[in-house]
């Protein structure tokens, strides 16, 4: 069973074309996104996959994730037993600082491999399910608002009822115009606003106050990740929940965020926490402190979405849905062998062994700009 030994660790650094430009408070994405895929192979030939989805302005670079796995983490994985996930992750955490996206890829691959060998889904290894589907939120971040309005029509046709407006990139009038338009024409949507740290301390109070008046569901991370005092002060001035994203990576940050009262809820991402189990720890602290949580993501493929979906399926405290939209609504071509199951405005969590769906190795080879696998 999971006493099997891991005999190989392979990597692909992928460059994947995307459908449009997206502007966020901390930076823009256009042309392509880059991710790192890891494959672990056990002595019986079973395989498990994981994904690191870095963003240089947020968690780090794909080059760093690749090197972390290839050079620094590999010696702690090859030769280890598949089932010793806690020990392997402990060693990986000691071997290289930060690189949380690389560690998320590793733990995902370990869970996928263990699940495939044991014949159970990853969600079962994370404690078992409390839900089968997760409501989907899609972000609106196109500098061309007309393109986002067209996207909304497509989302509504697909049953998606939650959108998140990326704000704080252009001027305040652009943000308020878009919120006015959403309120006027799409008042059936659950609208959330995310500044991605985009506001300066002098402008934050006024802009956040105006947006709070628009009856949005929450406002996320208006100021820089390290401005805890300002986050706490802004929270006191508004009546809608303030959500922390970039300020909270792992359980340690969550503890500080609670102690300093900076937020009413948190965006939980395996790429920030360093894997599904630490993401669950963030969720547990949030819940114990009376905070809400949703499942955020980075610029991911369906493979990382699957890891997040299994994590949320096994985390009762993550109640505000997920943002795993890229595989369907942003990537030109996802890498899975079958599409991620989007269903009526939600993600259905696969119930087959491991993550439930494998990546297409032909696509990994096609989109790779670097790999450890011989051609
Ligand atoms: Mg965010």
Of 342, 338, 330, the C-alpha closest to 363 is 338
339 CA distance to ligand 1 centroid (A)? 25
Question: How far does residue 248's CA lie from ligand 1's centre (Å)?
Answer: 10
CB atoms within 10 A of CB 260: 13
Helix locations, 96-239, DSSP H: 100-118, 122-125, 145-157, 172-185, 201-212, 228-237
The answer to whether 225 and 249 have CB atoms below 8 angstroms apart is: no
Cα of 73 to ligand 1 centre, how many Å?
Answer: 28
Write the secondary structure of 309-375 as one string of H (helix), E (strand) and C (coil): HHHHHCCCCCCCCECCCHHHHCECCCCECCCCCECCCEEECCCCCECCCCECHHHHHHHEEEECCCC
In 3D space, the residue among 342, 339, 345 whose CA is nearest the CA of residue 357 turns out to be 339
Using a 10 angstrom Cβ sphere, with 0-12 exposed, 13-18 middle and 19 or more buried, the burial of residue 359 is buried
Residue 24 falls in which region: left (phi positive, over 0), alpha (psi -120 to 50) or beta: beta
Q: Which residue has the tokens 């996928």?
A: 112
- Cα of 231 to ligand 1 centre, how many Å? 14
pLDDT digits (tens, 9 = 90+) for 298-315: 999 999 999 999 999 999
Gap from CA of 306 to ligand 1 centroid (Å): 19
| pLDDT band of 375, cuts 50, 70, 90 | confident
Residues 17-51: pLDDT tens digits? 999 999 999 999 999 999 999 999 999 999 999 99
pLDDT tens-place string over residues 197-227:
999 999 999 999 999 999 899 999 999 999 9
Taking 70 as the threshold, does the pLDDT of residue 237 lie above it?
yes
Q: Which domains does the chain have, with CATH numbers?
A: 6-119+359-371 (3.30.390.10), 125-348 (3.20.20.120)
State the Cα–Cα distance between residues 349 and 308, nearest whole angstrom.
10
Separation of 298 CA from ligand 1 center, angstroms?
9
Query: CB-hemisphere CA count at 13 Å for 159?
Result: 9
Is the full-model pTM beyond 0.95?
yes
Give tens-digit pLDDT for 66-123. Answer: 999 999 999 999 999 999 999 999 999 999 999 999 999 999 999 999 999 999 999 9
156-169 mean pLDDT: 98
**How far does the chain reach from its first CA to its final CA, in angstroms?**
31
**Residue 194 Cα, ligand 1 centroid: separation in angstroms?**
6
Percentage of the chain modeled with pLDDT above 90: 99
pLDDT surpasses 80 at 1: no
CA 171–ligand 1 middle distance (angstroms): 19
What is the Å distance from ligand 1's center to 221 Cα?
A: 7
pLDDT confidence bin for 161, thresholds 50/70/90: very high
User: How confident is the model at residue 47, as a pLDDT?
Assistant: 98
- pLDDT tens-digit series, residues 241-291: 999 999 999 999 999 999 999 999 999 999 999 999 999 999 999 999 999
pLDDT of residue 2: 75
Residue 97 DSSP symbol: S
Cα–chain-centroid distance for residue 279? Answer: 10
Q: Which residues pair with 365 in a beta bridge?
A: none
């Amino acid at each position: 069973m999971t006493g099997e030994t891991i005999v190989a660790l392979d990597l692909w650094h992928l460059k994947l074309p995307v459908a449009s430009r997206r502007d966020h408070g901390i930076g823009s994405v256009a042309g392509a996104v880059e991710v790192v895929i890891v494959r672990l192979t056990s002595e019986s030939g079973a395989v498990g996959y994981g994904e690191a989805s870095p963003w240089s302005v947020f968690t780090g670079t794909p080059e760093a994730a690749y090197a972390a796995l290839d050079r620094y983490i590999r010696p702690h994985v090859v030769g280890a037993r598949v089932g010793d996930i806690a020990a392997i992750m402990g060693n990986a955490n000691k071997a290289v600082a930060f690189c949380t996206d690389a560690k998320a890829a590793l733990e995902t691959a370990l869970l996928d491999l263990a699940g495939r060998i044991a014949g159970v889904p990853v969600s079962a290894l994370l404690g078992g399910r409390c839900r089968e589907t997760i409501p989907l939120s899609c972000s609106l971040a196109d500098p061309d608002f007309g393109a986002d309005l067209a996207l909304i029509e497509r989302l509504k046709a697909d049953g998606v009822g939650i959108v998140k407006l990326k704000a704080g990139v252009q001027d305040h009038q652009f943000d308020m115009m878009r919120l006015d338009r959403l309120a006027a024409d799409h008042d059936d949507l659950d609208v959330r606003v995310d500044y991605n740290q985009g506001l300066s301390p002098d402008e934050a109070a006024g802009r956040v106050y105006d947006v709070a008046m628009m009856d949005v569901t929450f406002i996320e991370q208006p100021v820089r990740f390290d401005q805890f005092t300002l986050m706490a002060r802004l929270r006191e001035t508004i009546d809608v929940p303030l959500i922390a994203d970039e300020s909270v990576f792992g359980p340690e940050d969550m503890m500080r965020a609670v102690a300093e009262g900076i937020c009413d809820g948190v965006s939980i991402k395996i790429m920030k926490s360093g894997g599904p189990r630490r993401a669950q720890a963030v969720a547990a602290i949030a819940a114990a402190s009376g905070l809400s949580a949703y499942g955020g993501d980075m610029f991911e493929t369906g493979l990382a979405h699957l890891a997040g979906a299994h994590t949320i399926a096994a985390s009762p405290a993550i109640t505000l849905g997920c943002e795993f939209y890229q595989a369907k609504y942003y990537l030109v071509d996802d890498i899975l062998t079958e599409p991620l199951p989007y269903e009526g405005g939600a993600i259905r969590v696969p119930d087959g062994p491991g993550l439930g769906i494998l990546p297409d190795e032909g696509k990994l080879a096609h989109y790779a700009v670097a790999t450890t696998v011989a051609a």
